[in-house]
Chains A and B, each alone.
Chain A
Amino acid sequence: GAVVSQHPSRVICKSGTSVKIECRSLDFQATTMFWYRQFPKQSLMLMATSNEGSKATYEQGVEKDKFLINHASLTLSTLTVTSAHPEDSSFYICSAGGSGKNIQYFGAGTRLSVL
């Protein structure tokens, strides 16, 4: 199946710093990528939909200026958590839309811990 690489797998940072997470589709082109957030023992919550070459579409309640999404190419989308605070600590997962019907391929996730 299709492979989605997410990097880094884990990051620990100080409060106030910014963190960039990369999501790459390795063997296919993804015009659409998705960013999810998962709190402990909870399900995935869609944060935003990233479309190549255009602005991301954010879900209600997600701060656009805090979670910056860039989808500059068909194989790469990035999520930057700006001025991170402890409440931003979470598991972030990206997915890329395949050419099939509503199929999404998921990255391995990034564990963000803000001290």
Chain B
Amino acid sequence: AQSVTQLDSQVPVFEEAPVELRCNYSSSVSVYLFWYVQYPNQGLQLLLKYLSGSTLVKGINGFEAEFNKSQTSFHLRKPSVHISDTAEYFCAVSPMNYGQNFVFGPGTRLSVLP
């Protein structure tokens, strides 16, 4: 079984400041890793994904994440946030050999302040 932990339920940050949203996971098998963003009353939009290869993954809207296998982490970063980045961010994992089952973390609410 898999589990995903997002240590920060809320992250307030000022506009143009850097931000890091933390994600750790637990799994007995190898997994793919994802970050999704959810704007109010909307579905989820894929920000980025790690499937294989380089551990530094670049996504949309200037976000990037780094996979650290030894620490079982997949933290999301952005060097300079905008007001429009205010949203809920979900980290998710999917076991490589078990179809497309996803396990989501509890989410982190990013609030960008003017």
Check A32–B104 contact: CB distance below 8 A: no
B107 / chain A contacts, CB cutoff of 8 Å: 41-43
Check B46–A1 contact: CB distance below 8 A: yes
The 8 A CB mask of A93-106 against B (1 = contact, 0 = none) is 10101000111111
A74 / chain B contacts, CB cutoff of 8 Å: none
Q: Is the interface of A mostly helix, strand, loop or mixed?
A: strand
In the complex, which of the residues B36, B43, B100 contacts A102, with contact meaning CB atoms closer than 8 Å?
Answer: B100
A78 sits at the interface (CB 8 A): no
A46 sits at the interface (CB 8 A): yes
Check A109–B99 contact: CB distance below 8 A: no
Check B106–A93 contact: CB distance below 8 A: no
Check A42–B100 contact: CB distance below 8 A: no
> Which residue of chain B has its CB nearest to the CB of A98?
B100
Check A109–B43 contact: CB distance below 8 A: yes
Q: Which of B36, B45, B104 has the most CB of A within 10 A?
A: B104
How many angstroms from the CA of A103 to the CA of B92 in the assembled complex? 11
Known: A43-B106, A43-B107. A108 touches B43 (CB 8 A): yes
A34 / chain B contacts, CB cutoff of 8 Å: 100, 102
| Shortest distance between the CB of B34 and any CB in chain A (Å) | 8
Check A106–B43 contact: CB distance below 8 A: yes
In the complex, which of the residues B32, B45, B96, B100 contacts A106, with contact meaning CB atoms closer than 8 Å?
Answer: B45
How many angstroms from the CA of A34 to the CA of B44 in the assembled complex? 13
> Which residue of chain A has its CB nearest to the CB of B32?
A102
Check B102–A104 contact: CB distance below 8 A: yes
| Shortest distance between the CB of B105 and any CB in chain A (Å) | 6
| Shortest distance between the CB of A3 and any CB in chain B (Å) | 11
| Shortest distance between the CB of B31 and any CB in chain A (Å) | 9
B36 / chain A contacts, CB cutoff of 8 Å: 106
Check A107–B43 contact: CB distance below 8 A: yes
A interface vs B, CB < 8 Å?
1, 4, 6, 9, 32, 34, 41-44, 46, 49, 91, 93, 95, 97, 101-109, 111
